[in-house]
Structure 1
Amino acid sequence: MERIELWPEGAPYSQGNDPEDRPALTPYLLEQAGPQTPAVVVLPGGGYGMRAQHEGEPIAQWLNSLGLHAFVLSYRVAPYKHPAPLTDAQRALRYVRSRAEEWGIDAGRLGILGFSAGGHLASTAGTHYDRGDEAAQDPVERFSCRPDFMVLCYPVISMGEFRHDGSRINLLGPEPSEADIQLFSNELQVTSDTPPTFLWHTSDDAAVPVENALLFAGALSRCKVPFELHSFQTGVHGLGLAEQHPEARVWPELCANWFKRQGLI
């Protein structure tokens, strides 16, 4: 599978030259698609310490089955801390937009999908973004890094009371400042410009409390941002496509229906 490095000459904040120091996109492009097909950047979870394989390629293949182009992002994880992961996610969105015409992608219908800590990174991309720098020497940096829609799957959202300790430590360090805790508690960063969002979680998630999804949904509601939230009564953390789970296995169908309502498929 092709692996496209986001910074072939070396990434910002790089600590070396190994593959883990070189963030990259793996594209899953539809062979037959119209010239204005939506696309999704996929962020696997792993507590900002790894990237779970079952939340990468299988998700891209599912998106392909719905008629969407997909890209799995190999973003940097520990020992990398903020701002490296967000820089990688923002660069991925800019990069896909920079090649949208070549790949037949609708640059105005580019979304982001993340699981667990990847959901935190996705929600960070959806609440901390810019529209691009028209004066940038690097042409990729001239493109917007705002996702047009988000799918957040059992996401880490808050760095406060309902945090996932491992994600917070890996991203912000063992003693983050109160300012960083606030800044990356993304339920506090939602505005009326935050992208429409589909969320799902399990109510008894023992690793990442369901309050993370509830807090984000509440913030979206207050800002009148369209959203859909599903919380299944039971289910361990990290279900991915949840094909064997009696309840959560329906989330891909529910998400596909939401895509249809958004005019994406």
Structure 2
Amino acid sequence: MRKVCFIMTVIVCTSCLAQQNFTIDIWPNGAPNSNQISGEIQKETSQGRIYLTQEAKMYVFLPKYNTTGGMVIICPGGSYHFLSMENEGRRLARWLCEQGIAATVLQYRVPNKHKEVPVSDVRETFAIIKGHAAEWNIDPSKIGIMGFSAGGHLASYHSNTYTPESKPAFTILAYPVTTLFEGISHEKTRQNFLQNVNDAEEVAASSPVQLVGLQTPPTFIMVSCDDELYICSQLYQEALHRNHIPFECHVYPTGGHGWGTKDRFLYKKQWQASLLFWLNSVLNADKKHIDINHTLEN
């Protein structure tokens, strides 16, 4: 049955390739681990959220012309309880495609205290992209990861615990949770990721700010200074600085937490232009320059 499903997935993906977007099951033959969440598979809500995800999927968005050869793996946030698939996922992927950059929205399985579960989903996503790199016009050395809030924790955690096969070329963090120490972290994210919140060693080993080193990828950070979790971005920025990792950080006066791609965020055009300029540099896209003025009009 799984083999049939996998074949059907390939057929669907092939037929959709001309449309430049399609979905792939990350574990068509069964995942190597489980978050131990049972019951009916949750459907996406009208607000674009999926709660208690049990299935890992990739929503792939390929531009007609990939002007950089790059791809961004997007990890939506949601306290490791739900995934904000539209606001912090597909809407961003569509925008990146318009700029000539491929994107994948990762529907990772929430950990439910089994942190190896979403981590394995990320690693397998890198493997799948590299396996299709030539077909999708992707440069395997230009695959990066982006995360929002709890997704920012997953992205920054992976950026410091990657395998040789899944090393990101760059990291993009939007109001990320970068520490799981009590009092300065987001409590729900902490509770949902950690097996034992009272185990100091586990907390430290699961906090990206403690893991930053000389091999951490170049990083772009954006956050609002009135975000209750602003300290997470500040601490990560300081860790990058101490380890001489190239980074760029944008702090906006207002906006709070969770603005994602919402039009009501006053600085949406600013972060889009800044991110695109940074990506253009990281991906060596000067050969085929991306029109930033076009970005500001969208």
Aligned residues: 250
Give yes or no for contact 2:96–2:102 (8 Å, CA) kept in 1.
yes
- Match for residue 213 of structure 2 among 170, 191, 194: 191
* One-letter amino acid matched to 2:117: A
CA-CA distance at 1:153 after TM superposition: 0.3
Letter in 2 for 1:260: N
User: Partners of 1:220 and 1:79 in 2: how far apart?
Assistant: 29
Q: In structure 2, how many angstroms separate the alpha carbons of the residues matched to 1:253 and 1:243? A: 14
Q: Which has the higher helix share?
A: 2
Amino acid of the structure 1 residue aligned with 2:213: T
The aligned counterpart of 1:13 is: 33
The question of whether the paired residues in 1 share the 8 Å contact of 2:111 and 2:118 is answered with: no
- Which residue among 60, 71, 84 is the counterpart of 1:39? 71
Alignment of 1:52-201 (within 5 A): 52-53=84-85, 54-77=87-110, 79=112, 81-131=114-164, 144-160=165-181, 161-173=183-195, 175-201=197-223
Residue identity opposite 2:91 in structure 1 = P
40-49 or 168-177: which moved more?
168-177
| Deviations 1:13-39, CA, capped at 9 Å, x for gaps | 2346947322110100112336x7111
Task: Give the drift of 1:79.
Answer: 3.3
CA RMSD of aligned residues (A): 1.9
Shift of 1:231: 1.1
User: Which of the pair has more CA radius of gyration?
Assistant: 2
Please tell me whether residue 22 in structure 1 is matched to residue 44 in structure 2.
no
Shift of 1:262: 1.6
1:183-230, Cα deviation, whole Å (9 max, x unpaired) = 111011011110000001111113xx2111111111111111100001
Q: Secondary structure at the match of 2:189?
A: helix
Q: Name the SS for the 2:213 alignment partner.
A: coil
TM-score, normalised to structure 1's length? Answer: 0.88
Q: Is the 8 A contact 1:38 1:264 kept in 2?
A: no
Which residue of the partner structure matches residue 224 of structure 2? 202
Once residues 246 and 237 of structure 1 are traced to their aligned partners in structure 2, the CA distance between those partners, rounded to angstroms, is: 13
- State the SS of the aligned residue for 2:71: strand
2:252 partner amino acid: F
- Which one of the candidate residues 21, 24, 30 is aligned to 1:4? 24
Give the deviation of 1:261 after TM superposition.
2.1
Q: How far off is 1:87 after superposition?
A: 1.2
Whichever residue aligns with residue 21 of structure 1, its letter is Q
- What is the alpha-carbon distance in structure 1 between the residues aligned to residue 122 and residue 283 of structure 2? 24
Instruction: Give 3-state SS (helix, strand or coil) of 2:28's partner.
Output: coil
Name which of structure 1's ranges 248-257 and 144-153 shifts more when overlaid on structure 2.
248-257
- CA contact 2:93–2:105 (8 Å) conserved in 1: yes
